[in-house]
Structure 1
Amino acid sequence: MHQLGSRSSDSTPRVEIGYVGGGSQGWAHTLINDLAQCGDVAGTVALYDVDYEAAVRNAELGNRVVDREDADGDWTFEAYRELGDTLADADFVVCSIQDPPAETFVHDIDVPKQYGIHQPVADTVGPGGILRSMRAIPQYRTIAATIRERCPDAWVINYTNPMTVCTRTLYEEFPDINAIGLCHEVFKFQEQFADIAERYVDGADDVDPDEIHVNVKGINHFTWIDEARWRGRDLYRFLDDELAARKPLADFDPGEMADASYWVNNYRVAFDLYERFGLLAAAGDRHLVEFVPWYLDLEDPEELHRWGIRFTPSSARLPDGDGPTRTERHLAGDEEFELHESGEEAVDIVRALLGIEPVETHLNYPNEGQVADLPEGAVVETNALLTGDDVSPITAGSLPREVRSLVLTHVNNQETLVEAGFDGDLDRAFRVFLSDPLVTFERDAAEALFVELVDREREYLTDWDLEDADVLAT
């Protein structure tokens, strides 16, 4: 049997990492950056992408970066044409994939908008999240099946959204898989609590967010915090004071955010949900508003600006024109690749699972009871301890009934969508679509929207039974 992290003669662990989506202009660069600064693990990174040439360019970039004098890592990057060859005997598999945005993501955002459904992100729930899930389920079945065949003992780190559906699909296809999903949203709330500590706790100066412990529970992008501590001190008790200081919450004017960053976040929705339910929602406001209907019930899209956020237009999802990619700019010397502290934890998790240094962090993992009163097996987001080839979810407790009701709606939809994907049952996927909280209009309009989205993205839905679907026949 293939052994995880076989050690070389100098006792430095040497591992093989298979990267699915290795032509990425985002996460792949982050992995290159972090591995270049990792001196106590070495090995190879196999890059696979449907755009093989993009993977080739990233391999060249990775090899250049680790050869620099300011890099500590001993890594070799190589591109592969076939997924199976990429994952052969891998110790770790990293997934970060996305279909071409012009053919998919743009439709996910723009078509629902024509029906009055406005989505700031459109990658987790709502019409956009559902269609993205429908595209992702067959892809992740293929990834899981290849892992089962080529590297069944590997640890899989998934970054792709919709996080919950993708990670859940891996386990449904290959129940013995070792997979976790990583998301950086909660880190921002550790930063918020670090600021709160500095404002309310005597002697708290320059608080490191890494020293903030938060109890995390829920599902990805609809996660909740009910405890926050710094060096044993309770920070959660200051939230009422913080809420009072931030009021009024919806005090921006419509149109005021027109020139703000598409990704701006003032945490007004998170604190509004805290005031409503007594529990702090722990994801970016742009994500949170897609899980509950009332924030997006708008006469004018600019009304959303009142909460200090704005919609991300589909144009922001497209590549920057026809010019060179970020990788090509680095390779040509037109843009320097600067090593930096990324804040991501994939390499720390590799080190932890090799037994070098344990890590406690939040991650997405099947529910073994860590979130009471959510279905067993559903992928939930909580803290976990990673050490020595093991992941141990930390019990987070239950959610208040009224919050659990909101979360359960999406858990049930996501579970049903995965089941429908394995059966190729488009009609069942449509029933999920109808039950999404953002789909609030009458059935005929919902059907017309769903059919239009399916028609526009048909080439990515070939694993679904389109011929016999009643929803398409009408």
Structure 2
Amino acid sequence: MTHPKIAFMGAGSVVFTQGLLADLFAFAELTGAHIALHDIDPERLGTAQAAATYIAQRRGAEHATITAHAERRAALAGADFVINIVQIGMDDATRTDFEVPARYGLRQTIGDTLGVGGIFRALRTFPFLRDLGRDMSEVCPDAWLLNYTNPMAMNVQYLTAATGLTKVVGLCHSVYWTMRDLAKLVNVPYEEITYRAAGVNHQAWVLRFEHQGRDLYSALDELIASDEQLRRRVRVDMYRRLGYYPTETSEHSSEYVPWYLHHDSEVERLRLPIGAYLGIVEENAAEYRHTRQALAAGEALAVEGTMEYAPQIIHSTVTGTPRTVYGNVPNRGLIDNLPAHGVVEVPCLVDDSGIRPTRVGALPPQLAALNRTYLSMNDLVVRAAVEDAPRHIRHAAMIDPATAAALPVERIWQLCDDMVQAHGERLQPGLRALLGS
């Protein structure tokens, strides 16, 4: 595989595409790669192609081939790697995920993993994933699918259950950036720490955190005890009570448990920004407009790497360079006390033989208990789509911790009906039924 073909699905997410390409072209062995960009929005696809060409020039990748494709199968044909960064429904669908639940008094901060927002983001993404899996099976059956699209665990479980693809891994930067932040907090260089994390995406746990054989949790405990502001973070509060630090931000973490968002006092104490993701949506839209205008005017763009896992995986697979990354894969015995069919986040070894998840064993019971609730909800959402069972959408919302803490069951069913109506044709036909309360 001298010059791999790398297909980007949803390449119109230009800012993320730029970061990934900057990482890819930082590897000399990948400067001759074929980058095939696909998006259904012609303007965004053109912007992505212009940005990719600019980054290739800036990174010394003059021999790279960059092509843009409105038709998905043309981009996929003969690909060695497929990077999925699609967001179905874009900004309008995201606003729906916040505005409709808000009318019921349901608070969300990010809304892309669990909760009503996560459920419907998954359900509108599944039809695309089904078609992507079919196309890959036909035109690039040996390719690795590297998924970044949220809700990560639900999407990877659906791909496994519904498409027959086996070379699938979900990638997220939460473990990496958590560990960089923790190392900075305890004033130890990141390169010198030893760590191990495992669990589920956005709710994994730092099981080991050391420096030259010294447990760094004790240093973290001292900092937390002396700093009131640190104690006003959800993830720190969870760490103090559960004994292990969660690998996602406080905004994310607050949504996956019943203890915080439903209580005004906790929202204030822990400074939770309700609806925070809508601000991120606006920032991303502004950044896209800036990129498009800069390219049109011939102005310079920042070309900065992002330390994402996909470029590292591609480089290791192409060159045989061994690495450890964190990936989201079907459990199948990797974590003993979580369901075998659930998707877990564990360390993965990567080299020219591919991606090999490593076995973790059993999580501490309090951590596994939370993760099992997460995976139970995921399973119901996936079953809703695979079995064409609209009642399972409601069952998933009933099981979701934050939703169940905020609403009585009759209102949960009414909310699901409203969300089904709001998303309409984005859902597969069998899931569009209104079931009442």
**Aligned partners of 1:417 and 1:439: how far apart in 2?**
15
Q: 1:277 to 1:299 in 2, by over 3 A?
A: closer
1:445 corresponds in structure 2 to 411
Q: Which amino acid aligns with 2:210?
A: R
Q: Which amino acid aligns with 1:464?
A: G
Q: 1:71 to 1:192 in 2, by over 3 A?
A: same
1:422 aligns with 2:386: yes
Q: Which amino acid aligns with 1:177?
A: T
Q: 1:112 to 1:177 in 2, by over 3 A?
A: same
1:125 corresponds in structure 2 to 114
**Aligned partners of 2:207 and 2:398: how far apart in 1?**
32
Q: 1:63 aligns with which of 42, 50, 53?
A: 53
Q: 1:249 to 1:211 in 2, by over 3 A?
A: closer
User: Per-residue CA shift, 1:380-402, capped at 9, x if unaligned?
Assistant: 00111111132221222322222
TM-score by length of 1: 0.85
Deviation, structure 1 residue 315: 5.3
Q: 1:246 aligns with which of 212, 227, 244?
A: 227
Query: Which protein shows a greater Rg?
Result: 1
SS at match of 1:26: helix
Q: Which amino acid aligns with 1:446?
A: I
Conserved in 1, the CA contact under 8 Å of 2:388 and 2:431?
A: yes
TM-score by length of 2: 0.92
Q: Which amino acid aligns with 2:244?
A: L
Q: Which amino acid aligns with 2:20?
A: L
Q: 1:88 to 1:412 in 2, by over 3 A?
A: same
Q: 1:387 aligns with which of 346, 351, 355?
A: 351
Conserved in 1, the CA contact under 8 Å of 2:18 and 2:303?
A: no
Deviation, structure 1 residue 461: 1.0
Q: 1:220 to 1:322 in 2, by over 3 A?
A: closer
**Aligned partners of 2:285 and 2:249: how far apart in 1?**
28
Q: 1:288 aligns with which of 244, 253, 257?
A: 253
SS at match of 1:103: helix
Conserved in 2, the CA contact under 8 Å of 1:38 and 1:72?
A: no
Q: 1:335 to 1:120 in 2, by over 3 A?
A: farther
Q: 1:218 aligns with which of 199, 203, 206?
A: 199
* Structure 2 counterparts to residues 7-406 of structure 1, below 5 A: 13-41=2-30, 42-68=32-58, 71-72=60-61, 74-198=63-187, 207=189, 209-247=190-228, 251=232, 268-299=233-264, 304-311=267-274, 312=276, 314=278, 316-318=280-282, 325-333=289-297, 335-406=299-370
Q: Which amino acid aligns with 1:332?
A: A
Q: 1:335 to 1:186 in 2, by over 3 A?
A: farther
**Aligned partners of 1:313 and 1:180: how far apart in 2?**
25
Q: 1:457 aligns with which of 420, 423, 427?
A: 423
**Aligned partners of 1:228 and 1:158: how far apart in 2?**
27
**Aligned partners of 1:375 and 1:342: how far apart in 2?**
33
Deviation, structure 1 residue 305: 4.2
Deviation, structure 1 residue 446: 1.2
Larger RCO (CA within 8 A; separation ≥ 6): 2
Deviation, structure 1 residue 79: 0.9
Q: Which amino acid aligns with 1:401?
A: P
SS at match of 2:304: coil
Say which is worse superposed, 115-124 or 308-317, in terms of deviation. 308-317
Q: 1:322 to 1:299 in 2, by over 3 A?
A: closer
Conserved in 1, the CA contact under 8 Å of 2:153 and 2:201?
A: yes
Conserved in 2, the CA contact under 8 Å of 1:367 and 1:378?
A: yes
Q: Which amino acid aligns with 1:410?
A: Y
Q: Which amino acid aligns with 1:135?
A: R
Q: Which amino acid aligns with 1:443?
A: V
**Aligned partners of 1:413 and 1:145: how far apart in 2?**
26
In structure 2, runs of 5+ residues without a counterpart are none
Say which is worse superposed, 436-445 or 219-228, in terms of deviation. 436-445
Q: Which amino acid aligns with 2:214?
A: R
Deviation, structure 1 residue 53: 3.1
**Aligned partners of 2:18 and 2:285: how far apart in 1?**
20
**Aligned partners of 1:18 and 1:223: how far apart in 2?**
29
RMSD value, Cα = 2.3
Conserved in 1, the CA contact under 8 Å of 2:19 and 2:305?
A: no
**Aligned partners of 2:287 and 2:326: how far apart in 1?**
38
**Aligned partners of 1:117 and 1:316: how far apart in 2?**
19
In structure 1, runs of 5+ residues without a counterpart are 6-12, 199-203, 252-267
User: Per-residue CA shift, 1:242-261, capped at 9, x if unaligned?
Assistant: 3312347555xxxxxxxxxx
SS at match of 1:94: strand
Conserved in 1, the CA contact under 8 Å of 2:331 and 2:343?
A: yes
User: Per-residue CA shift, 1:161-219, capped at 9, x if unaligned?
Assistant: 10111112221223342111111111222123323553xxxxx5xx1x24433211111
**Aligned partners of 1:139 and 1:304: how far apart in 2?**
36
Deviation, structure 1 residue 56: 2.4
**Aligned partners of 1:230 and 1:362: how far apart in 2?**
20
Q: 1:216 to 1:320 in 2, by over 3 A?
A: closer
Conserved in 2, the CA contact under 8 Å of 1:115 and 1:449?
A: yes
SS at match of 1:415: helix
Conserved in 2, the CA contact under 8 Å of 1:217 and 1:223?
A: yes
| Count of paired positions | 433
Deviation, structure 1 residue 351: 0.8
Conserved in 2, the CA contact under 8 Å of 1:296 and 1:304?
A: yes
Q: Which amino acid aligns with 1:291?
A: Y
User: Per-residue CA shift, 1:328-368, capped at 9, x if unaligned?
Assistant: 12312365212223222221110111233111121111113
